[in-house]
Structure formats: structure tokens, C-alpha cells
Structure 1
Amino acid sequence: MNMKKAKMLNPYLGVRAKRSDMAEEEATAKERMENMTVRSWLIGLMCVLLLGIGIPYCDLVMKGTWVGLTSFPIASFSLLFALTVFLNPLLRSFGKGLSQHELIAIFAMALVSAGIPSFGLTGLLIPYIAGPFYFASPENRFDELILPNLPRWLAPESKEAIKFLYEGLPQNAPIPLAQWIKPLLCWMALIAPVYLVFFCLATLMRKQWVENEKLVFPLVHLPAQMTAYANQRSILPSFFYNRVMWAFFIPPFLIHAFNGLHFYFPQVPYINVHRISLDIYFSSPPWNALQPFWVRIPFSIIGLSYLLPTELTFSLFFFYFFFLAQQLLAASFGIQMRNVQAYPVKSFVAHQMIGGILLFGIYMLWNAREHLKESLKIAFSRRNERSRGTVLEKGLSDKVKLTVNEPMPLSVAYSGLLVGMLTISLWGWLAGGGFIATFTLFLLYFIVHLVAVRLVCEGGMLYVQHPFRPWNIMLAAFGSQSFSPKQITILTLFDHLFMLDNRSPLMPCIMQSFKLGNMCNLNLRSLTPALIASVCVSVVSSLISYLWLMYRYGGMTLHPWFTTYYTRNLYCTWTAHLLSVGEAPSMSALLTMAVGALTMSLILLMHRSFMWFPLHPIGYLMGASWPMINFWFPIMVGWIIKTVVMRFFGAKLYRQLLPGFLGLIMAEFFSAGLWSVIDLICAKRGHEIFSF
């Protein structure tokens, strides 16, 4: 058989020989990758267990700083700081120190698990399960509007189990955990596929964002610097020897120290960097349309802003004022404006933002089409090589295409995405939400959430909280009368549990963990099981902790934001409104969304076509959302500082000051963690270092 005929029968013959140089180079890179170690597994899981038990206590009982919030949680940072500054120097003095990739692996496990005990899942799930039954009364009619539409397998069957959850158990009475096993297992059948989709989407978009587009990932720079050792003999990473870092670290640390002491000793002066309200200056019409309007000075946001491109930071506060100007103009003409549900954001502003978000989501996927098409070929090609996280594509094009260090096999990622969506939709159908309606709701949610992940990874947002959500889009398009009472009840429950408050998101933390793994040459295929195990441990431990605390203290005595507000004031009230009054389809809302989509398309076109165009699409996407209401001022300060440095002093000084601005971030997060520990020891309640 000649070679030509052999190649016709086997088109892959000779491909390896033609590409041997690249294959050998990648194989060498693969061999240099570091795998998860046993001790990083053990230490990481112990940290996750500590967070799963401790964060509910901090949120519910201490009622202080929410240490599990944001895509860079204070709790995760505090554990990394403690390991790096206290434990590891001791280990390194005996020659047994943790390496950078071990510290990063432990931090990644803490990162993905810290939000789950808070707003990420547990802090909302337990109250949403029991709250509608406990708060039902003849006055609010929850018992006739909502309860008949909730399947009984979603909540404990015992009325006493729900009553004692909010009022506390009688003395010496056992916690009725048996009543919770069935409903929690049913809920886990929904939570698991949602988290599966998160991991699959993060895997599929990782290469595009990390390697192709090379997004900045501002939030991971500090942990990367905190764990980088100059040599094997160093007791501490080089970052901690930098004088510029300490010069920037000291002022915010001292300010928070004074404020912390003020909480214990009121005679100590208080320096207000928390919130300076300007509403008093804008109290009369039409200026009151700007409310709420305040200045906050979180030093960590100034530090993060310094890491971002100036066009991006400028666009963030520019579009914030752009939307405020629209509100002021509308008020000047006497146009009545109402806020969207649960947020101090005008509805027509929120409609523009969601239109821009949907358009940007479509553009983002279109921009990644070549990567996704190629990964799809790799995933389901019959000829491939998989070894230790490496997939080698054969015969797909003349150019060598090699996917190195994927978190999971691409075939698993695509299959998991499909299985996850189908399972979610089936669960929604069984609960009464309808298969098509549930599928549509979560499809929109994952698109919007993927954009939010992009805003974290490129824009350095600590969190993203969009005021207009997929369920609002469906209501604006079809009206509540298009859905049955069961569908309204279940879909609104999905909306409030997964989509209302995204300050403790899982998927951005997964993506940042993958980025950190790349930065320290950690084998992502070995990291992913550790992340999945961390999520599972966090879910189980936080559910047990949450139930124990509510039965021990009584939910009505704990932080009302978790136990009362979201359930009674938001979910139940809004669901009852939809079931009794209803929401008609809104052509004006759809038109405003179209305006937002058109505006975003113009911004994208100009941004891609002209170097001089000063506006970045992320600014429009963040708009007048809750993060920008809080952080417009420090972002503007960061932009001014970086602009002055770059224009008058150049890149050299910019690089020299980088450790200092990382020091601002570290000082604020260290202060929050330190005072949380002090409050825990001293049994103090209600001490909020800074809020989100």
C-alpha cells in the first residue's frame, strides 16, 4: 500500500510528524505543570469547612461585615493572608513550606466556596423554603395566593419545624433535621445542574478570555503577588518586603483602625469613609431624581481602578452620570418614573442596561465563535489525545491547534452544558414552572450572568448587580397573564434565589481560579476536582450551620436582611402582586431595551473601529447599577491618579506605584478581616467595617 492510499484511508497519518516540534514543546510545558498536592487538598478542605460553618455565624449572629460577599471575598483573602504570613513562614523555616501553586490552590478552594454560605445560596435558600409558610397571614393573603402553588416536597411538611426555625426551639428540643432532608435533597437536584453549567461555561470560555483575549483579571493580581517567593529560602514573598506597598498600606489601615476603635470606645474620632450622603443638596425637584447620591471612599476600589485601563474607568463613572442626567431630564419634564423592584434604579434606565447586556452577550459569543467552533471539533473528534489535562487535535486544519491544560475534557464541558440545561428545565416542569418557560428563563440568566463574569474578569468589579433580570424581560414581553399561577410562583422563586442578588457569585470565582492556576502553572485538570469538592463541602456545611443557628437563636432575632427581608418583603410581596394585580406587557420597556441594544452596538462599533474613541462598553453595561451608585467616586479618583501618573511621569512610575495600589486593596481587606476576628472574640454585634 503506497503512502497516498494510506493517507486516504487514514487522514491523520503523518500529522504528528508534521507537528512534532509544537507537540514536543507543549508536552514539555505539560510536564512542568504542578499538580494538586495532598496537603493542599487537606488544608483547602479544612478552610472550606471553616468558611461553611463560620460565615453564616458572621452574617446572622454578628451582623457585621459580610465577609462572604463579592468575587474577592474578605474571608478567602483573610485565610490566604493567614497562611502566607503566619503558617507558611513557620513551615518554610523547617524546609516544609507551601509553594506558590499550593497556596493558590488553597485560595482557589476558599474562593469558590466563600459566597455559598452567604447570598450565593444558603443565606437565601433556607428562608425562601420556609418563609412563605411562616409569614402567611390573612392580611397578606400569602396562604391563598402563594402556598397552593408551591409543591409540598420543596419545604418541610411539619408546621412546627417551620415555626421553630423563626422563633427558636424550646429548651432541650432536638433540631428537626429529618424534616429538612427530603426538601433539601430535592433542591440539590436543581442546584447541582446549575453549578454544573457554571463549571462547563467557565471551562469553555477560559481559553478565549485568558489566552486569546488576555483579559486583565484585576482581582487576581493581589493573591498572585502575595504568594510569589523570590527563592526557596525566602520566609515571606517579595511583595511583603516592598516599601512602596507598606507606604500605601498604612493610611487606610490606620483609618480603619481609628474607626474600629471608635466602635468600642466612642471617644476615639471617627473618620467617615463609609458613606457621605449628598441627598440633602439634591432634595427638591427635579434634583431629587438623582437620589440616592452619596460618596464612599473604599480604598480597595481606588487600588483596583489603578490596575484598569483609563478608558474603562472613565467610562464607568461617565455612563453613571449619563444615566443620572437622563433621570434629571425626565424629572424636569414632569415624567413620572418608578424604580425597578428591589433596587433604587429607575425602570427606563434598567431597561436600557439590560438591552445593552443582551446585545453584548450575543456579541461576546460571536466574538468567540472561532474558539467555540474549534473546541467543539476537538471535543467530538474521534481522534484525539488526552493526557493530564492536554488535548491534541489532529487533522482539523493546516495550523497546529492545541488546547493545553483545560479544566475538564471539552466533550464533558459541552455534554454537561446540555445535560445541565435539560435537568434544570425538567426540574422546573416538575415544580410547576413549565419546561419551556424554565428553559427560557435560565438561558437568559446564563447569558446575562456570563456578561457579569466578563465584567468581573475584565472590569475588575468586586460584584455585579444588574437591576433588571431575565424574569423581568419575560414579564415585559408577555405579561403575567401569559403564565399560570404555578408558573409565576416558581419562576419568581427562581428569579429571587439565583438572579436577584449576585453579590456572592460562584462562576466569576471559578473563572478567576482558572486564571490563577494558569499564572502559577497549576494543572487545571487536577484543580477542578478540588473546586467541585469545595463547593460540595461548602453547601453541606453551610446548610447545617444555617439550620443550627436559626433553630438555636430563632430566625426573627437574627439578621433580618437574610431571614426576613428577601423572603417577606421581596419574594412573597412581589409574587402576591403578580398573582393578584399582575403586570401587563410593556411595549415601552421593550422599546427602551431596543434603544439600549442599539446604543451598545454603536459603542462596540466605535470602540473596535477607532483608537481615539474614549468610551468602553463595560461602562454602559454597569450604568447606574448598585455597584456604581456605591463606587463611582473611588473609581473616578483611581482614574485621575492613573491619568496624571501616565501623562506626566510615564510608565516607569506607573509600574513603581503598582505595589502601592495593591497595598491599598490589602489594607482594606486585612482591616475587615482583622476587626471581624476581634468582634468575634469580644462578642460584638453590628460592627460593619465597610459594606457592599
Structure 2
Amino acid sequence: MLLKRSPPIIKGCTPKALIVGLLGAVCIGLGSTYNDMIIKGSGLAVWNLTPGATFLFFVLVLLLNPLLRLLHPRLPLQRGELAVAFFLILLANTLSGRGLPAQLLPVITGAYYYATPENGWAEIVQPYMPDWPVPQSRDAIWGFYEGDPTGAVPWAIWAAPLLYWAVFGLALFLAMVCLMVIVRRQWVEHERLAYPMVQLPLAMIDDDGRGRTIKPLFRSGLMWLGFAVPFVLASINALHNYFVIIPTVSTSLGGLSMFRGAVSVGLNLNLSMVGFSYFIPQNIALGLVFFYIVNVVQRGLLGMLAWGGKDETMGAYSQYTDPIIIHQAMGGMIVLVLGSLWVGRRHLGNVLRKALGRAPEVKDADEITSYGVAVWGAVASFLVMGVWLWQSGIPLPFVPLLLFGAFVGFMTIARVVAQGGVASMFPPTNGPDFVVANVGGTVLGTKGMAGMALSYAWSVDTLILLMSACANGLKLVTEISLPHRRRLFGAIVAVIVLTLGCVFALTLYLGYQYGAINLSRFYFDNVAQYPYRFMEKSILNPFEPRPSTWMHISVGAAIMGGLMAAQHRFLWWPFHSLGFPISCVFGSMWFSVFVAWLIKSTVLKYGGLTLLNRLKPFFLGLVLGEAVAAGTWILIDYVIGMQNNYLGGIVFQ
């Protein structure tokens, strides 16, 4: 009689996994921040690609875990425990680098440090700034920017404003987590989004059940071949910075000038994006590329006809292209988010009824927290943020509009990352610019504009976002049927608090040691001044809302609505609507997605699904090799003392 082998017991949120995850979160938070401020190597926490988390997880899975197995068979983390650790590290990666601390510290000090007799900020800006969320000491601010002879951080000066911001930040991030819990089942189980960025960590923890020390992915020759391509190319460029005799290499093919020079189209090939795009459904990849080309044509025609131009009602983060296109994209984002909610209306209704205690038959045991906690947690978070923003000077009627504009952008990023795997993107416009452009600076008033300027700290530069990382993490724990998921919610809160505390403390310490202006010109020069240049312009040249703004938003919304309707009604429709609202911010990625689409089409035509699946390790290797190259050379540069060792465009900067 043959006995069936019992399925392996999956361990998940064990104390061991949580401890490793929290330690990893601290390491990635401090390491990414130190790299950005001191080493200045390739960014570990700049994009939703999160190469820092991937590199640290690579070290854990391939080096530390096998070493623990050699010491004792029960010491290494099992598959579920590795997933938990990665989830927590991934979230921490979004809070460091280009995350909230790097944006907040310059924004709350820039109005004071960069005030000059020429710009008149002492008279135009400073009198309308609220006292409580900014440090109230000129010496403390100057010491932070220029360094203090003693190197001591005046914690008493910083404690109160950072505590106020901690309340807002915790509400902001909890709202993001709660919203992702609410939509997880709809996105993962009902719509079955692709989640391309989850494929690598899933493959890294996959186990063939034979009890081998090395995971199957790392025994694949194809994976190591793909790994070698970006790793070798990046290493050549890194060595060039040590030995100039070594030539550099580039994956950029230059660019194309079109429409009489009105438009330049970059042909930049990013190998990790090629790797991720291999896992994007073909219709989505084609839609991303197609709508970027449409955007190029639109920009070219607007440029040739001298229509559009710069919009003085919008800030620096919304000046990268024609305002007509930006407003259309905002309309597209609104319809994308509202349309996604409409498609999931039955699930969302079940969630709401469960939260109200009227649907005991609705199951939520497989979520990281109950639907009641998620719904009421989101409501409480939005109320806290609303009161906070109102107290900062924003007129109460416009607070919901600001939160709506900001979270439309956040939800768009999370959806695009989950469905399309786009690593480098930001919302075409942001909450403050959306409000000011639509209601006018005159209506908001000077205190309202000061509140909008402070909102730049959390709502504008969202190249890396906790919400998208949370969406990916929830997909990961779903795929491995992780038990005891409720413990994850508390761990997530702990990671947010711990990582933010460590990163803020390190950034302040480095500022008083070396001078923040020497740490990063981008953060402590550009980011510090952008909000107040916009505020100054709006106060000196007040403007009323323009009907054309809402017209262009409505046009974009109508186009997006038509595209989504065509996508759902016609099976033959080839262009996925996801590409339309992000077409104006897709320039750095389009060529990589196109190359992956072309490769995948060729593989499917001549090799079918068999060859398509067989080649997956190679493309995972492209992603992993790039992340490991970045992390490895940062460690080497730290030991040797090298700075500014960028890897020549092979790795995202």
C-alpha cells in the first residue's frame, strides 16, 4: 500500500520571519539613504523597481539562508518566511531613498534657507507658513544645510514638527495599505492582474520539494546567462570610474528628432525593464507602446502649430510637457481609477457590508486584516489627513479635492505597476497642481497656497510608492497561500514606524555632520525650492480657474472611457487602455517594453508556449543581474571610498 506524502507545512509570519524582515527593513532604509547622500552610487530606492530590496533578498536567499542550513537544519527561513521577510523589506525600500524623508526635510526648511532679498520670500512666503509643522529655529535650519561645527543634532527643535508630520505620514501610509487590502481580492482573484514584478521573488523562493540548499532558479544556466548580461555591462562601467583606460558601454541607442525638432524620442534600452516586460500580457505591452507613439504625434503637432506651451498655473513637476496633454492624462487617470472601482463594485459592496457587520457570509480570513479594520482604518486615516491639511492652511472645501487628486495618482501608479509592471513612472500631474490649476490661486488665498506648498512633501515626487509595493507584497503572500496573515498588518505598521524613524534620524545626522546641501543638490536645492517658487508665482500673479483646464480633463476622461468600453466589449480590440493615461510619462520605458513585446511575439510564433516558459529564467536573470550589480558596486565603493560611481545607464540612476 502506497502512502501519500503529506504536503509540506507552510510557515509564514513566524517570529523568525518577522525579526529578519524588520532587520532587513532597517538595513535597506539606512543603506539606501547612506548611498543616496554619501556614496551617491546607483539608486537603490528611486523607482518602483526597488533594486535595493531585490539585492538584499538575493543575499538572504542565496548566501545567508544556505549558511544557516549548514549550521542547523531548522535555522534557515522556509518559503513562506522568506516571502514575509521580502514583503517587509520591500515596503521599507519605498520609505528610504526617494521616499518621504528625502522630500519632507527640504520642503519644510526650503522657504527659510533659500529666502533672499531678491526673491522676497521673507515677505511673500514666510508670514503665511504655519508654525507647527516646520522647525522654528534659523540656527537649526542653517546648521542642517551647511553643517554644524559640533555635528550635534538639535533634537528638541526638530521633535515637534516631525511628530506632527509623523501623525500625517502614518495616516497616509495606513490609508494606502488599507486600500490595497480592500482591492486585493478584486485585482488578484477576480481580474487576475499580471503582477510582473512579483515573478522574480516568487521564482527566488520556489522550492522543488527535494530539500536542496540552492533554490531551482539559482540552478538554472539560463538565469545566470541573463544575470551576466547587465552585471558584466554595469561592472565594466563601474571599473571605468576606477580605471579610465577601461571603456564604457551603453544600452542607449540615442534618440530620434521628429516633427521639425519639436519632439525627441529616446531609444533607451533598460535590461531589467525588458525582463519585467516579458511577463506583461501582449495586449497591455502593445497598448503601452501604441499610446506612447500617439502621445509623440500629439506633442509634435502641438509643437508645430505652436499651441499649448507652458501653463503658469502648474508647478515645476507638471512642466515637463504640454499642459493640454497633462490635463488629458489627469482625466484618463480619474476614469481609470473610477472605472476600476466600478468593475469591482460587487466585491467592494461585499467589503462594505462586511465592514458594517451585515454580511457574515463574506470571508476575509485570507486578508492581512479584516475588512472592518481596512474600511474603518481608511476612513479614519482620511479624516486625520483632512483635519491636518485644513489646519495647515488649506481651505476646508478644497481638502477633499486635494486628497482626491493625490490618491487618483497613487491608485494609478499601483494599478499600472500591478497590471503593467512599469518600473519608472509618476502621475502625469499631482494633487497640489491639480487643485491649483482647477480652482485658481486667488480662491485658495495665501495661506492655502502655503498649505499646498507643504503638500509637495508627500504628494508630488512619487517615483517610488508604498502603495504599489504593498500591492505586490499582497500578491506574493497570496500566491504561496501564506498562513497566519493577520500578523502581517502589525508588522507592516512596525516597518513603517521603524524605517521612517531610522531614515529621518540618519538624514538629520548626516546633514549636521556634512551639510545637507553637500549631500544632495537635487533634494536640498531643487526639491527645497520648487514649492515656494510656485507659491511666490501664484501670490504675485494671482489667477482665476480656467475653463479650458476642465475641458481638457473632460476630453481625456471621455477618451479613456471610450477605450475602456472598447476593451471590454470587443474581443478583437488590440490596444489596452492602460497605456493612455501614462503615455506622457512613459518615454524612458517605451523602447524596453517594445523590445520585450517583439521578442515575446517572435517566441510565441516560432516556439509556442513551451519555448515561452523555458526562456523565463533568462529574463528573470536580466532583472536580478541589474539589482545585484547596483548593490555589489555600492558595497565595493563604500569599502574603497569611491563616490558618484554611476553605472552608465545600465542600472537605473
Q: Distance in 1 between matches of 2:513 and 2:186?
A: 48
Q: Distance in 2 between matches of 1:303 and 1:658?
A: 9
Residue in 2 that maps onto 1:119: 98
Give the SS at the match of 1:378.
helix
Residues 1:309 and 2:281 are matched in the alignment: yes
Q: Distance in 2 between matches of 1:431 and 1:316?
A: 39
For residue 363 of structure 1, what is the amino acid of its counterpart?
Answer: G
Superposition deviation, residue 516 in structure 1: 0.9
Superposition deviation, residue 336 in structure 1: 4.9
Q: Distance in 2 between matches of 1:236 and 1:410?
A: 38
Superposition deviation, residue 144 in structure 1: 1.2
Q: Distance in 1 between matches of 2:412 and 2:568?
A: 18
Superposition deviation, residue 662 in structure 1: 0.8
Residues 1:53 and 2:30 are matched in the alignment: yes
Superposition deviation, residue 446 in structure 1: 1.6
Residue in 2 that maps onto 1:593: 553
Q: Distance in 2 between matches of 1:237 and 1:167?
A: 49
Larger radius of gyration: 1
Superposition deviation, residue 32 in structure 1: 6.5
Residue in 1 that maps onto 2:261: 288
Stretch of structure 1 that moved more, 480-489 or 252-261: 252-261
Residue in 1 that maps onto 2:247: 269
| Distance change (3 Å), C-alpha of 1:247 and 1:268 | same
Q: Distance in 1 between matches of 2:494 and 2:613?
A: 38
Q: Distance in 1 between matches of 2:363 and 2:160?
A: 46
The 5 Å alignment of 1:417-432 reads: 417-432=378-393
1:567-626 deviation line (CA, Å, top 9, x unaligned): 11x11211111111134322222211111111111111111111111100111122121x
Residue in 1 that maps onto 2:579: 619
The 5 Å alignment of 1:468-487 reads: 468-487=429-448
For residue 92 of structure 1, what is the amino acid of its counterpart?
Answer: R
1:89-138 deviation line (CA, Å, top 9, x unaligned): 11123312210111111111110011212222000111111121111111
Residue in 2 that maps onto 1:362: 338
Q: Distance in 2 between matches of 1:531 and 1:688?
A: 32
CA contact (8 A) 2:145 2:511 kept: yes
Which of 324, 328, 333 aligns to 1:348? It is 324
The 5 Å alignment of 1:106-505 reads: 106-170=85-149, 172=150, 174-231=152-209, 233-273=211-251, 275-278=252-255, 281=257, 286-291=259-264, 293-338=265-310, 341-342=316-317, 343-381=319-357, 393-394=360-361, 401-494=362-455, 496-505=456-465
Q: Distance in 2 between matches of 1:440 and 1:329?
A: 32
CA contact (8 A) 2:193 2:419 kept: yes
1:635-675 deviation line (CA, Å, top 9, x unaligned): 11001000111122211111111111111111111111111
Q: Distance in 1 between matches of 2:102 and 2:409?
A: 22
Superposition deviation, residue 414 in structure 1: 1.2
CA contact (8 A) 2:170 2:496 kept: no
Q: Distance in 2 between matches of 1:528 and 1:336?
A: 47
Structure 2: gaps (5+ residues): 1-5
Q: Distance in 1 between matches of 2:413 and 2:592?
A: 20
CA contact (8 A) 1:476 1:587 kept: no
Superposition deviation, residue 236 in structure 1: 0.9
Q: Distance in 2 between matches of 1:348 and 1:463?
A: 22
Give the SS at the match of 1:613.
coil
CA contact (8 A) 1:245 1:663 kept: yes
Q: Distance in 2 between matches of 1:263 and 1:321?
A: 36
For residue 599 of structure 1, what is the amino acid of its counterpart?
Answer: I
1:13-67 deviation line (CA, Å, top 9, x unaligned): xxxxxxxxxxxxxxx99x9664411111222111112222222211111222111
Which of 588, 604, 609 aligns to 2:569? It is 609
Alignment: residue pair count: 638
CA contact (8 A) 1:156 1:179 kept: yes
Q: Distance in 1 between matches of 2:406 and 2:427?
A: 11
For residue 50 of structure 1, what is the amino acid of its counterpart?
Answer: C
Superposition deviation, residue 86 in structure 1: 0.8
Residue in 1 that maps onto 2:589: 631
Which of 610, 614, 636 aligns to 1:678? It is 636
Structure 1: gaps (5+ residues): 1-27, 385-392, 395-400
Superposition deviation, residue 482 in structure 1: 0.9
Give the SS at the match of 1:67.
coil
Identity of aligned residues (%): 27
Give the SS at the match of 1:229.
coil
Superposition deviation, residue 335 in structure 1: 2.6
CA contact (8 A) 1:117 1:543 kept: no
Which of 612, 626, 636 aligns to 1:654? It is 612
Superposition deviation, residue 155 in structure 1: 1.8
The 5 Å alignment of 1:50-129 reads: 50-93=27-70, 94-95=72-73, 96-129=75-108
Superposition deviation, residue 224 in structure 1: 0.8
Give the SS at the match of 2:364.
strand
For residue 44 of structure 1, what is the amino acid of its counterpart?
Answer: G
CA contact (8 A) 2:42 2:645 kept: yes
Q: Distance in 2 between matches of 1:470 and 1:260?
A: 39
Residues 1:582 and 2:582 are matched in the alignment: no
| Distance change (3 Å), C-alpha of 1:558 and 1:154 | same
Residue in 1 that maps onto 2:625: 667
Superposition deviation, residue 294 in structure 1: 2.0
For residue 88 of structure 1, what is the amino acid of its counterpart?
Answer: N
CA contact (8 A) 1:475 1:583 kept: no
Superposition deviation, residue 153 in structure 1: 1.5
1:401-430 deviation line (CA, Å, top 9, x unaligned): 433411111111111111111111111122
Residue in 2 that maps onto 1:562: 523
Backbone CA RMSD of aligned residues = 1.9
Superposition deviation, residue 173 in structure 1: 5.1
Q: Distance in 1 between matches of 2:579 and 2:625?
A: 27
Give the SS at the match of 2:581.
helix
CA contact (8 A) 2:308 2:324 kept: no
CA contact (8 A) 1:92 1:235 kept: yes
For residue 471 of structure 2, what is the amino acid of its counterpart?
Answer: M
Give the SS at the match of 1:316.
helix
For residue 312 of structure 1, what is the amino acid of its counterpart?
Answer: I
Residue in 1 that maps onto 2:488: 527
For residue 46 of structure 1, what is the amino acid of its counterpart?
Answer: L
| Distance change (3 Å), C-alpha of 1:583 and 1:671 | farther
Q: Distance in 2 between matches of 1:249 and 1:501?
A: 31
Which TM-score applies when normalising by structure 1?
Answer: 0.89
Q: Distance in 2 between matches of 1:420 and 1:154?
A: 18
Q: Distance in 1 between matches of 2:151 and 2:646?
A: 33
Q: Distance in 2 between matches of 1:334 and 1:192?
A: 45
Residue in 2 that maps onto 1:645: 603
Superposition deviation, residue 688 in structure 1: 1.8
Residue in 1 that maps onto 2:3: none
Which TM-score applies when normalising by structure 2?
Answer: 0.94
